[in-house]
Chains A and B, each alone.
Chain A
Amino acid sequence: EADIYQTPRYLVIGTGKKITLECSQTMGHDKMYWYQQDPGMELHLIHYSYGVNSTEKGDLSSESTVSRIRTEHFPLTLESARPSHTSQYLCATAGTGHNEQFFGPGTRLTVL
Chain B
Amino acid sequence: RKEVEQDPGPFNVPEGATVAFNCTYSNSASQSFFWYRQDCRKEPKLLMSVYSSGNEDGRFTAQLNRASQYISLLIRDSKLSDSATYLCVVTGTDKLIFGTGTRLQVFP
Contacts and interface: CB of A to CB of B under 8 A. Distances in A.
Interface of A: 33, 39, 41-43, 45, 48, 58, 88, 90, 99-106, 108
A41 B41 contact: no
A103 B98 contact: no
Contact of A58 (B42, B45, B95): B95
14 contacts: A33-B95, A39-B41, A41-B100, A45-B95, A48-B95, A88-B41, A90-B44, A99-B91, A99-B96, A100-B32, A100-B34, A102-B46, A103-B44, A106-B43
A62 to B, nearest CB: 15
Given A33-B95, A100-B34, A104-B43, 13 more contacts: A41-B100, A42-B98, A45-B95, A58-B95, A90-B43, A90-B44, A99-B32, A100-B32, A100-B49, A103-B45, A105-B43, A106-B42, A108-B41
B101 A42 contact: yes
Given A42-B100, A42-B101, A100 B43 contact: no
A101 B43 contact: no
